[in-house]
Amino acid sequence: MILLARQTSETQKMLEALIQRLPVSHSEYTFYCEHLRRLQAGFAGEQLVDAKWLELDLPSPHYFLHDFQTMNDFGSTHQMDTIFLCPHFVLILEIKNITGKLSYDASFAQLTRTTADGAVEGMTDPFLQLERHVVWMKKLVQKERIDLPVLHAVVLATRNGILTKGFEGLPIFHVAGLRFNLQKWMERHQPRVRVDLLRFANLLLSLQTKLKKEVEVPLKEMTKGVLCPQCVNGQRLSYHYKKWTCPRCGLVDDDALVRTLEDYRLLVGQQLTNRSFREFFAIASPNLAYKLLQQLPLKAEGVKKHRKYWIME
């Protein structure tokens, strides 16, 4: 049972909205595109591993929490790609969608990859990440008196990630090896019959906290307005006779207002005023802005020029 489903991250959504509104000539355009590309690749890799689980015969009961995020007592964050709970163990997975030849030096905690063109890149040590998560999980398991071992592994989502030297004896394998390793772990750890697995899974779910990753948003340089989803280069829609229409491709977009409100939420924040709405939506008339605001799912407080709106999630 999936208790916490995997979803597109807020950071990815933010970058998608930002890139659509940022001129190609902007000095940071390439940086944002590369950041988005990495997030999309990571998410695609996680989805590949999620699909592999569907092919396996899993013990009952079992629970999944994907993209679990929380904070420890010291204010540090933990983000675990997948937590798998079953009567045999708790398993934490770190999923990597990395191509190229991979090498690891434990003495320097250094993961490197060599790309097809010979470039060498340093990468974050996934084993150190996992060790932090395991320490946190073990403390929680002990506190709740849950008699389950805590296991961990790095899973490579693509066979184009080639493991070379330094990985001997470390918990890392390609996604194709998930079935074999799962069977090995279940044989090694006998099921605990007195563990209230659902209670512990719900406890974890209650500790889930959405961690916001800050992205510096260049609001002044962005194209404002209600943009056409089909055209490129920030083509604005025109509002006539209660319809949003693209003067370039002729699209009549019924979802334009709600979609642009989502861009506002991602790039600016939850709170609006008539003025901030006009600035972002590129609307000159305060009266038209007021009428459009009434069409949106917003919570309003205050009157006249002191009126504020909050986007409802």
244 burial type by CB count under 10 A (0-12 exposed, 13-18 middle, 19+ buried):
buried
Q: Please write down the long-range contacts of 28-36, taking CB distance under 8 Å and 24 or more positions apart.
A: 28/218, 35/215, 36/12
Q: What's the CA gap between 94 and 129, in Å, rounded? A: 8
Whether the bond into 61 is cis, omega within 30 of 0:
yes
Residue 116 has pLDDT above 90, yes or no: no
pLDDT in tens, 86-103: 999 999 999 999 999 999
Q: What's the CA gap between 266 and 98, in Å, rounded? A: 28
Q: What architecture does CATH give domain 223-311?
A: Orthogonal Bundle (1.10)
Q: For the chain, which residues make up each domain, given as ranges?
A: 2-206, 223-311
Residue 295 has pLDDT above 70, yes or no: yes
Sheet of 308-311: strand order equals 271-272, 308-311, 298-301
pLDDT in tens, 265-276: 999 999 999 999
What pLDDT band is residue 166 in, cutting at 50, 70 and 90?
Answer: confident
Residue 51 has pLDDT above 90, yes or no: yes
User: 188-225: b or e for each residue (b if 16 or more CB lie within 10 Å)?
Assistant: eeeeeeebebeebbeebeeeeeeeeeebebeeeebebb
For 42, the 3-state DSSP assignment is: helix
What would the two tokens of residue 276 be?
A: 């901030």
In the chain, the percentage of residues whose pLDDT exceeds 90 is: 79
- DSSP codes, 233-267: S-PBPEEETTEEE-TTT--B-TTHHHHHHHHHHHH
- Determine the average pLDDT of the residues in 216-223: 89
Note the pTM of the prediction, 2 decimals. Answer: 0.87
- Residue 75: its pLDDT value, please? 84
pLDDT in tens, 14-49: 999 999 999 999 999 999 999 999 999 999 999 999
- Determine the average pLDDT of the residues in 58-62: 94
Q: What is the mean pLDDT of the chain?
A: 92
